[in-house]
Amino acid sequence: MQGTVGGSWRPCTALLHQSGFRVAKGLGFARFSSFPDLHRRWYRSHVREDVRRCGVCSSVWDQRDMKKLGVGFEAWRERLPRRELLSTVVAGRRSVLHELQSLRNDEADYSGQIEYESPLQVVLYPDPRLRAKNKIINVFDEKLQQLVQEMFDIMYKTDGVGLAAPQVGVNVRLMVYNPVGERGQGEEYVLVNPQIVKYGKNQDVFAEGCLSFPTFGSDPKKAPTIEADVERPKSVRVEAQDIKGKKFAMTLKEWQARIFQHEYDHLEGTLYFDRMSPEVLDSIQLDLKKLEELYEQRTGLPAPEKISNRK
């Protein structure tokens, strides 16, 4: 089962690419021609008002991109007689459910007991672990609690406000954050297997930094991490599990919504520069190249991705 977007694996792509269907707006299934292409388009575009969730796997989809490709439900319905349509819808639904079932049963998607080495270290761009698939956490034990504590430790030590598990080389769906970023102040949040269920309508732009993108303090005028503008929705509705596995939901706004979305991206294998405009990306190109060179020196391996290879 393969579905590769920018190096990251997404269940939705795999699931729906195989079956050839997606859930349309409360109506049934719409057919599409090129799912990876569609997904890539969505992936590169900013989240917009008309984004909706896939009813099968909870991924978020952009209706406008569907329309651009001419694969809207309405268009498809006009081309098919009603009877054929209905049988296709039923077959599609069965096919998707079947795939979903097999996906659920695929043990490879679950973390089991989490393995990691202490002390944790922050993984730096372009380490492939930042793009790897992150597993769903299904064991809520002391090991997980330990990992969370160590993630907070390293987050405070490096002056961060949030940290996602893949940033310490542990590819599971876990993030921690504290909007104040100081131990003993603010509040500590732990989100296991988080999902975004709704995006707010309004967007704002903010200069984000990321612990996986240091500037090494070579220039005292520069921030400790590469900072640049990213546009995101100002609020999000989130569902997640706590450290014991209990489900909860909350609405995040402004600064917390910003932190959460940045960390959530890490769980999807997305990095903040993927969301920057071409102009903004240009402005940090040299810093990214520097990190790529340092990676090659450190590991003796070619950088797994290069900013200069992006179109």
Could you list the residues that contact Zn ion (CB under 5 A)?
210
Nearer to Zn ion, 30 or 210 (CB): 210
* Angle in degrees, 0-180, between the axes of helices 11-19 and 82-104, rounded to the nearest 10: 140
Two tokens, residue 27: 């109506």
Distances (CA, A) of 311 to 62, 183, 209, 280: 22, 41, 23, 14
Cis before residue 119, ω within 30 degrees of 0?
yes
Nearer to Zn ion, 144 or 210 (CB): 210
Taking the complex as a whole, the smallest distance from the CB of residue 80 to Zn ion amounts, in Å, to 45
Taking the complex as a whole, the smallest distance from the CB of residue 198 to Zn ion amounts, in Å, to 23
Q: Which of 99, 227, 263, 305 is catalytic?
A: 263
Taking the complex as a whole, the smallest distance from the CB of residue 114 to Zn ion amounts, in Å, to 20
CB atoms within 10 A of CB 95: 17
CA distance 284 to 213: 11
CB atoms within 10 A of CB 150: 18
Q: Which residue is nearest to Zn ion (CB)?
A: 210
Amino acid at 305: E
Taking the complex as a whole, the smallest distance from the CB of residue 273 to Zn ion amounts, in Å, to 10
Distances (CA, A) of 3 to 166, 205, 232: 20, 30, 25
Taking the complex as a whole, the smallest distance from the CB of residue 186 to Zn ion amounts, in Å, to 18
Nearer to Zn ion, 114 or 124 (CB): 124
Nearer to Zn ion, 99 or 263 (CB): 263
Two tokens, residue 12: 């939705």
CA distance 41 to 39: 5
Nearer to Zn ion, 56 or 210 (CB): 210
CA distance 204 to 201: 10
Is 263 a catalytic site residue? yes
Residues recognised as catalytic: 263
